[in-house]
Structure formats: structure tokens, C-alpha cells
């Protein structure tokens, strides 16, 4: 039975898919090729793909479907979740708006994203939550909001966390602004305990990092740039763990970047504390040596660290100290990047390369099932999203991808408004091909013509 691969991005009521290899450690079909039917956004029929042709029962069901897709050569997993994305809408739509951000997410293979309160006004009341939910309800991508932890992210007064939780906030964070008020963090952890809320922190002691713009070390000295010591992150992580031990609750540390931070979190987990963490995909392959040349595409916070740190991050993924891999997508415009390095904004367009850059960095070191878990079940568990499994009667929230495709990054193909990528011109391995969610199918830049 030969089917033509059909690419579209429209409402879908019925879909037949053949020959997809399942990568889902929670699925009874993990590692197997399957044929399956999607109706009304649910997987209604599933069978192992044995031999050259599907079963007569599948063929009969497929004949009633609106669309048919051959996924031969592709793998399928539950839809990918990116739990750290900046889409500054409302307020800075010229950098990225909710529609362009969702399109970029599809291009990166993500069916669900959690966005930071890096907006104006901040995500700190039900009206802003309602605005975001209304603007994204028709998108293929499911958009979840991380609300501000403190009012205007000023680290002085807690937001109405319980009310925000009831209106859909999946976590509370000051975004890229560190929480330096220990009393505030303790109260946030204690207050969130009754409703199992998640407190998310960026680990940085600004009294140590000061005006630093790159990792403190030989590279910062050779370039004459002010450095941010790894100690800044490590002191913050250590303090957070002490406060969590005292207050209890659930704490998530975002984009860890140093070897010692990973070690501290590993010990805290063994102690039984409810602590989780993530790593930005670009931190798994790019180090401080990329900064030679003062290219602002490589300016991030936390800054690119050393090869020693990268090794520790990879080991952290391997032993599950690091739970999730995120894009840390932080789109910037020309005025923010085409300036002297010291004055350039942190961040780049990374959601469309997150999976590929992670696979390229981890290939041969970590099994694909573990990598996929960092994009699927792990972030889902952290932000308390419903479980997705590739099995009958589960929602069709799916990402199809080619594990082995090699491609050269060209930001001109990005859907993000921001075209600043640290991987521009680099060859990566691994490519999302299309996504299914909310009864819709969306192709990526890697989809077949």
C-alpha cells in the first residue's frame, strides 16, 4: 500500500498514519513501527506495522479518513513541550508576537509551550492570562502561562498566586530576573504548597555577577570583557536549596549552566527535596570560545560556559539530575543585537533549533529515548500537564521527526520574527517534520514537498 505524504496545516477530523516508529518510553509500542487512526483528536485504532501492508481492518478504517500520511522513515513521540519560552506579547510584539511565536514553535516541533512573564504588562493578573489564552486558542500549539512570582517582578510583593493558578498559570517566576529576596521565596514556596504550585527561579547572585556579560575566565580576560563567575550561579543554587529545605514546596531551577550547580541539585534530589531543573539546548554544545569575534548571537544569560561545564550538563541529563531540555527562546530585534557586545541584549531565536542542537550534542552519548523524555514526559510532569502516551484512547498530541536528517541552519527559514541564531550556517542532525495537536496538522521547514 503506497501513500503520498500530504503536508497541510488545517482542521483535521480524521487521519490515517502508517509506518511510524514510536519513541515513547511510556508506550507499549516503544521501539515498534505502528499504523494508527486519529479521529476527533484521539488515537482510536493502533496496530503494529508488520510486513509491507497494513491489516484489512486498518485499510477499511483508513478509507473513511479525510487525510492519509505515510510516516515511513520517521519517528513519532508525544508532542514536545518547551517549558521556557519568551514571547513578549503584549508589549513588544515587534520582537515576537503570539502568532509568530506559535509558528516558530511548530517549526521546532513543539505542540505545547510555557511562556515567561517577560511581557508588558507582566503576566500577573487574570486579564493578561485571558488575553493570551484568547489570542492562542485557535493555534495548533497549546500555550501555557508562567505568571509573575512578584508584582511587576520587583521582588517585593507576591502576586495573587492562588487566583492566577485557578485561571490557568502553570508556574510562577520572575523570568530572567533573579529572586534575591529570601523571605519572598520562602513565602512563595509555603503559599504554593496547598495547591501544588511550581516556583521557577533563574539562578544568579547579581552581587557577584554585577555588570558581567560573558563567563568569567581566560576568554573574558583575552577579550577585555567583564565576566560573570560561575560562582554567581552556584551560590544562588545553594541558597535556593537551603530555602527549599526550610519551606518545602516545589522548586524548579531554570537553565542551569555550571558543573557545580548540577552537583548541588544532584545532592538535593538524593536528599528527597522536590527540586527539578532544566538546561537550555544551546548550552549543551556552545562554549565561551564562540565569543571570539564579539558576535552578539552568542550572548546569553546565563553565559556560555566551558567544556568542563558542558560535560557535567550532559552527565546531568544522563543520570536524570537534569529533568528537561528547553529552548530558552528569547527573540531579539536588530536594534537589540546590532550594537557593541557590552550593550547587546541577551538571547537569540532558539526554539526552531532546540531539538536538533540537543540531538547533535548528545548523539552517541545519550539514547534517543532519554532525549525525547526531556522534551516530553519530564516537562509535562514538572508543570502538571496531562500525560500523553502513544496508545489507543489517548489524545493525538504528536511530534513526528527524522532522527538522522542532517541540515544546515538558515534563519531565513525561521518563522520567528527574530533571525538571530547561534547556529546559523552550522550543520545539525535531527529534524522535526510535522506536528499533530488540537485536531490540526502543521508542517515544519523540514516537511516533504
Q: pLDDT of 104-146, one tens digit each?
A: 999 999 999 999 999 999 999 999 999 999 999 999 999 999 9
Answer yes or no: do 130 and 118 share one domain.
Answer: yes
pLDDT at 208: 97
Kindly state whether residue 254 falls inside one of the protein's structural domains: yes
408 and 333 part of one domain: no
CATH of the domain at 51: 2.30.40.10
Confirm whether 178 is domain-assigned: yes
Q: pLDDT tens digits, residue range 391-407?
A: 999 999 999 999 999 99
18 and 129, same domain (yes or no): no
Task: Check whether residue 363 and residue 405 sit in a common domain.
Answer: no
Q: Please report which confidence band the pLDDT of residue 12 belongs to, taking 50, 70 and 90 as the band edges.
A: low
> What is the band of 169 on the pLDDT scale with cuts at 50, 70, 90?
very high
Mean pLDDT of 143-157: 97
pLDDT bucket at 13, cuts 50 / 70 / 90: confident
pLDDT in tens, 411-433: 999 999 999 999 999 999 999 99
Q: Map grid coordinates 485571558 to a residue.
A: 130
Question: What pLDDT does residue 6 have?
Answer: 38
Q: What percent of the chain has pLDDT over 70?
A: 97
Quote the mean pLDDT of the chain. Answer: 95
The total number of structural domains that make up the chain:
2
Q: Is residue 449 in some structural domain? A: no
Instruction: Using the CB atoms, write b or e for 166-177: b if 16+ within 10 Å.
Output: ebebbbbbbbbb
Q: Are residues 287 and 408 in the same domain?
A: no
| Residues 49 and 198 reside in one and the same domain | no
Residue 399 domain boundaries = 14-76+392-443
For position 51, what pLDDT does the model report? 79
Backbone angles phi, psi at 419, to 5 degrees: -110, 15
Decide if 416 is inside a domain.
yes
Same domain, 49 and 93: no
Are 22 and 106 in the same domain? no
Q: Are strands 198-202 and 169-173 parallel, antiparallel or unpaired?
A: parallel
Rounded Cα distance, 328 and 239, in Å:
23
Note whether residue 221 is domain-resident.
yes
How far is Cα 381 from Cα 386, in angstroms, rounded to an integer?
A: 8
pLDDT in tens, 19-51: 999 999 999 999 999 999 999 899 999 999 987
Shared domain for 201 and 299, answered yes or no, is: yes
- Which residues have a catalytic role annotated? 328
Looking at the domain assignment, is residue 419 inside a domain? Answer: yes
Choose one of 382, 409, 429: the last residue of a domain: 382
Based on the domain organization, do 188 and 60 belong to the same domain?
A: no
Given a cut of 80, whether residue 360 has pLDDT beyond it is: yes
Whether 69 and 133 share a structural domain? no
Look at residue 53 in the predicted model and tell me its pLDDT.
87
| Residue 2 in domain | no
The CATH number of the domain holding residue 285 is 3.20.20.140
Per-residue pLDDT, 11: 52
The three cell numbers locating residue 9: 496545516
pLDDT for 7? 38
| Whether residue 448 has pLDDT greater than 80 | no
Residues 126 and 273 in one domain: yes
Give a yes or no: residue 8 inside a domain. Answer: no
Q: What is the pLDDT of residues 199-222, one digit of tens each?
A: 999 999 999 999 999 999 999 999
Candidates 426, 429, 431; CA nearest to 448 is: 431
Amino acid at each position: 500500500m503506497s501513500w503520498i505524504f500530504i503536508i497541510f496545516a488545517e482542521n483535521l477530523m480524521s487521519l490515517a498514519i502508517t509506518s511510524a516508529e514510536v519513541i515513547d518510553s511510556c508506550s507499549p509500542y516503544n521501539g515498534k513501527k505502528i499504523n494508527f487512526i486519529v479521529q476527533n483528536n484521539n488515537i482510536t485504532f493502533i496496530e503494529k506495522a508488520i510486513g509491507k501492508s497494513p491489516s484489512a481492518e486498518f485499510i477499511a478504517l483508513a478509507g473513511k479518513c479525510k487525510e492519509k500520511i505515510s510516516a515511513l522513515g520517521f519517528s513519532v513521540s508525544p508532542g514536545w513541550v518547551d517549558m521556557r519560552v519568551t514571547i513578549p506579547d503584549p508589549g513588544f510584539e515587534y520582537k515576537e508576537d503570539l502568532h509568530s511565536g506559535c509558528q516558530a514553535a511548530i517549526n521546532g516541533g513543539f505542540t505545547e509551550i510555557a511562556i515567561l512573564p517577560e511581557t508588558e504588562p507582566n503576566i500577573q493578573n487574570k486579564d493578561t492570562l485571558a488575553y493570551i489564552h484568547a489570542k492562542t486558542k485557535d493555534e495548533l500549539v497549546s500555550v501555557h502561562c508562567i505568571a509573575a512570582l512578584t508584582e511587576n517582578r520587583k521582588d517585593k510583593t507576591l502576586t495573587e498566586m492562588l487566583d492566577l493558578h485557578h485561571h490557568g498559570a502553570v508556574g510562577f517566576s520572575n523570568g530572567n530576573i533573579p529572586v534575591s529576596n529570601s523571605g519572598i521565596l520562602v513565602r512563595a514556596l509555603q503559599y504554593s504548597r496547598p495547591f501544588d504550585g511550581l516556583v521557577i527561579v533563574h539562578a544568579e547572585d547579581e552581587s557577584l555577577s554585577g555588570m558581567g556579560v560573558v563567563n568569567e575566565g581566560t576568554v573574558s580576560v583575552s577579550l577585555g570583557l567583564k565576566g560573570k563567575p560561575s560562582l554567581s550561579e552556584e551560590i544562588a543554587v545553594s541558597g535556593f536549596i537551603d530555602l527549599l529545605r526550610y519551606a518545602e514546596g516545589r522548586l524548579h531551577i531554570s537553565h542551569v549552566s555550571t558543573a557545580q550547580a548540577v552537583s548541588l541539585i544532584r545532592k538535593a534530589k538524593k536528599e528527597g527535596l522536590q527540586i527539578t531543573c532544566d538546561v537550555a539546548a544551546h548550552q549543551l554544545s556552545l562554549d565561551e570560545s564562540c565569543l571570539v569575534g564579539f558576535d552578539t548571537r552568542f550572548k546569553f544569560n546565563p553565559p556560555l560556559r566551558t567544556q568542563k561545564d558542558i560535560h557535567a550538563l550532559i552527565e546531568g541529563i544522563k543520570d536524570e539530575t537534569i529533568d528537561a531540555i528547553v529552548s530558552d527562546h528569547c527573540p531579539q530585534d536588530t536594534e537589540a543585537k546590532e550594537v557593541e557586545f557590552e550593550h547587546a541584549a541577551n538571547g537569540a531565536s532558539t526554539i526552531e533549533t532546540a531539538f536538533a542542537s540537543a540531538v547533535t550534542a548528545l548523539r552517541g552519548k545519550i539514547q534517543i529515548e532519554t532525549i525525547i523524555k526531556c522534551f516530553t514526559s519530564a516537562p509535562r510532569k514538572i508543570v502538571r500537564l496531562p500525560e500523553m502516551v502513544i496508545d489507543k484512547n489517548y489524545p493525538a498530541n504528536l511530534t513526528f521527526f527524522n532522527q538522522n536528517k542532517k541540515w544546515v541552519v538558515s534563519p531565513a527559514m525561521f518563522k520567528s520574527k527574530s533571525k538571530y541564531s547561534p547556529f546559523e550556517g552550522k550543520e545539525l542532525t535531527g529534524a522535526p517534520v510535522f506536528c499533530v495537536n488540537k485536531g490540526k496538522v502543521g508542517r515544519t521547514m523540514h516537511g516533504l514537498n
